[in-house]
Amino acid sequence: MKRFAAVLAGALVAGLAFSATAAEKPTLTVYTYASFTSDWGPGPAIKQAFEAECDCRLDFVGLDTSAGILNRLRLEGARARADVVLGLDNNTMAEARDSGLLAPHRVDLGRLALPIAWDDDVFVPFDYGWFAFVYDRTRLAKPPASLAELVAGDASEKILIEDPRTSTPGLGLLLWMRKVYGDGAADAWARLKPRILTVTKGWSEAYGMFLDGEAPLVLSYTTSPAYHAIVEKDERFAAALFAEGHYMQVEVAAMTAGAKQPELARRFLAFVVSPGFQNAIPTGNWMYPVTDIPGGLPDAFAALPRPERTLLIAPGVIAAKRKQWIGDWLEAMSR
């Protein structure tokens, strides 16, 4: 009994001491989406690398989706717990900026090697990629070579896409079609409709169904085949390159206006464009890093074909028009 009491007391003291040292270190809280901070995402490596140099604690808070981050930020308003948000993208940037909840980063972005010019004062890009239709080479000999071919193609050759109301790639395709077809987008959707097997809630459902052989084409990213090549040593998968070009997603980070650790937050944003962060991106988030990384990209990444043209719609236009475009999409798809 005595020994038990002694052990208990010892544990208590040790626990108190531990929490005391933990409390002494400042904590940086970063909101991100769940797959970023999961054990298979880039989060753990980034946490380790940053904590090694900042003498602080980095706390990732994983929210369900990218849309969930902005939502959480707005729900919290001035009470925001986050110092940094990580995982918004070019398609939600304008709304995030207009919320007034974010602050300028003041980071030198000279190191960026993005395919597009970037001089935003609030958002620091951390990775990018292009939306694309991925297919299995052994099952589809002749993939569509353009969006036009996809739209006009054989209706018995099905595609799996995600819903723009609930999924980032889904919204990406909506904007892609809008960029290529302009006001004719609704008609193009109506022509594409017979080819669509189903419209899933999220990327996971669509991709899982694709891997199960439900449809030969799925809306994903040009970088998806690299996952299969590197992790599964499986070279079957490829992304169909479209002549019109591909819509791009740039994922961004920003610090909150109410950050409790503003210095640390800025330091983290500078870290975002450094090798310690960027190294973890290709085989962690399966996207392209925004800077050149030491040693270069993994072979499977370097071997991926890149779209010749990058398509983008200005964030401000998206913020103003998205609701109407989704309405048009609903109308065209429900016809």
The residues of the shown chain that bind other proteins, judged by CB under 8 A, are 31, 34-35, 38-41, 59-64, 67-68, 70-72, 74-77, 79, 81, 95, 158, 163, 165-166, 193, 196-205, 207-209, 211-215, 224, 227-228, 231, 286, 322-323, 326-327, 329-330, 333-334
Distance of CA 303 to the CA centre of its chain: 21
Q: Number of C-alpha atoms within 13 angstroms, CB side, residue 122?
A: 18
Least distance from other proteins to the Cβ atom of residue 55, Å = 20
| Residue with smaller CB distance to other proteins, 208 or 262 | 208
- 308 burial type by CB count under 10 A (0-12 exposed, 13-18 middle, 19+ buried): exposed
Beta bridge partners of 247: 311
| Residue with smaller CB distance to other proteins, 15 or 327 | 327
The CA distance from 183 to 307, in Å, is: 24
226 near 236, Cβ under 8 Å?
A: no
The CA distance from 266 to 215, in Å, is: 45
Least distance from other proteins to the Cβ atom of residue 243, Å = 26
| Residue with smaller CB distance to other proteins, 50 or 203 | 203
What is the bridge-based pairing of β-strands 246-256 and 124-136? antiparallel
Least distance from other proteins to the Cβ atom of residue 163, Å = 6
117: which residues sit within 8 A by CB, 6+ positions away?
A: none
Least distance from other proteins to the Cβ atom of residue 203, Å = 7
- Residue whose entry in the numeric block shows the structure tokens 């989406």: 33
- Residue whose entry in the numeric block shows the structure tokens 């929490």: 19
Least distance from other proteins to the Cβ atom of residue 2, Å = 31
The residue length of the chain stands at: 335
| Residue with smaller CB distance to other proteins, 67 or 252 | 67
Phi-psi region of 10 (alpha: psi -120 to 50; beta: other; left: phi over 0): alpha
The CA distance from 113 to 116, in Å, is: 8
| Residue with smaller CB distance to other proteins, 165 or 260 | 165
- 324 burial type by CB count under 10 A (0-12 exposed, 13-18 middle, 19+ buried): exposed
Least distance from other proteins to the Cβ atom of residue 6, Å = 28
| Residue with smaller CB distance to other proteins, 170 or 307 | 170
Least distance from other proteins to the Cβ atom of residue 249, Å = 15
| Residue with smaller CB distance to other proteins, 111 or 165 | 165
